Amino acid sequence: MDVALPAALDGRHVLALPAGTDLLALARAWFPDAAWERAPVAAPAARPMTGARFRGMVVDDGGAAAPGRLALAAAVIVGPHPLSVDEARAARLRTDGSVDLYALEGESTPQVTAWCVAAARRSGGTLVPAGRTQVVVPDPQAAPGLTLWSPVPMSPGDVLPLVRPAMIGARVAPSELPTPSGTDGPPECAVTAQFEYDGAVTLRSSRGTDVPAVLTTLDWREYGPWAYRVRWHPPDGEDPDSALSAIARQRVAPTIARVTAALWRAAGGTVVDEGGFVVEPAELTRRAVPPR
C-alpha cells in the first residue's frame, strides 16, 4: 500500500522520525560539519485565557512554525513537518506516536542514503522513497554490535576476568593475536563466547585506525585509539537474516551490552554502535537488560 504524505513533500525522499528526535546529533555522527542553514521554528504553544468568562478558550500568540534547513554534504534536509499519531497512521506510516518528517533536497549520494537508513534504524524511524510505493523500516535490533574506543590499552590477562562474568551461559575461550609490527601497547587479543543455540559473541581488542566520524565531534579526552569490538555471529550455517537468527540476536544483545559496559567501567572512553552513533552509559545499561 502506497504511503500518502503531504503533497508539499511530493517527489522527495522523506525521513520519518519519532517526534522530538535530535536530527542534528544524528547528522553529525556521519557528517561532523553538518549544521543548520536555518534552524526550525516551532509553533508557540497556545496559552489559556484567564477569567471565568474565558474558561476553555486559548490565545494563539500569532507565531508560525517554519521548517529548518540542515546542510548535509551535497544535500539539504528540510523539516520538521510534524504529524500527529492519527495523521501519521492516516498517511499509512507504521508508528506508535507522532512523527517528524524531513525531506531530502539536492544530491542523494550513496553516503547520504546510507545515513538515512542508519538514522532511521537508530531512532526507530522510516525512510520513504520519492516514489512512495515502498518504505524502508530498518530493524533497530539488526546490528547489535558495539565498540568501545578507549585511551587505555588492556592486556589479554586484564580483559578476560572483566568480561567472563558478563558472558553468562557461554563457553568462553581467549586467544592472543599476532601484534602488527610497530604497534605500541599490549598484544591484541580475542575472546569468544560460544552459545549452544545463539551463535557466538566475540570481543577483539586492537589499536584502531578507522576511528568513527562521530568521535571527531567529541573532546579528545573522551575517547582513545584502543578499540574493543564486541560482535555477534550467527550459528554455523544459519542465514543472518533468518527469523531464527533474529531471535538469537535478540537473546545475545544484552550480553554484548554487558561485556561493553564492563570494559567501559574499567577503561573509560566512548561506546559507538555499528551505525556509527554514540551509545551513552544510560542506554548501555538499558540494553543490558534481557528481553521479557
Q: How far is CA 62 from CA 44, 45, 47, 59, 283, in A?
A: 8, 10, 11, 9, 39
pLDDT in tens, 147-158: 999 999 998 888
Mean per-residue pLDDT for 100-125?
93
pLDDT in tens, 271-290: 999 999 999 999 999 999 98
182 domain-assigned: yes
Residues 202 and 80 in one domain: no
Residues 40 and 69 in one domain: yes
Residues 157 and 242 in one domain: yes
Residues 164 and 278 in one domain: yes
Residues 114 and 184 in one domain: no
Using the 3D structure, point to which of 99, 128, 157 is the last residue of a domain.
128
Domain ranges, residue 74: 7-128
At 176, is the pLDDT very low, low, confident or very high (cuts 50, 70, 90)?
A: low
Classify burial at 291, counting beta carbons within 10 Å of its beta carbon; exposed 0-12, middle 13-18, buried 19 or more: exposed
The number of folded domains in the chain is 2
Using the 3D structure, point to which of 68, 97, 128 is the last residue of a domain.
128
Using the 3D structure, point to which of 128, 155, 184 is the last residue of a domain.
128
Residues 33 and 74 in one domain: yes
Q: Give the pLDDT confidence score for residue 61 in this predicted structure.
A: 55
Residues 26 and 90 in one domain: yes
Cell numbers standing for residue 241: 537474516
Q: Give the pLDDT confidence score for residue 74 in this predicted structure.
A: 84
133 domain-assigned: no
Residues 164 and 51 in one domain: no
Q: Pick the range with the lowest mean pLDDT from 8-22, 120-134, 146-160, 162-176.
A: 162-176
277 domain-assigned: yes
Residues 33 and 103 in one domain: yes
Residue 177 pLDDT > 90:
no
Residues 151 and 252 in one domain: yes
Q: Give the pLDDT confidence score for residue 173 in this predicted structure.
A: 73
Residues 161 and 89 in one domain: no
Q: Whose CA is closest to 195, among 284, 264, 256?
A: 256
pLDDT in tens, 228-254: 999 999 988 788 888 888 898 999 999
Residues 41 and 157 in one domain: no
222 domain-assigned: yes
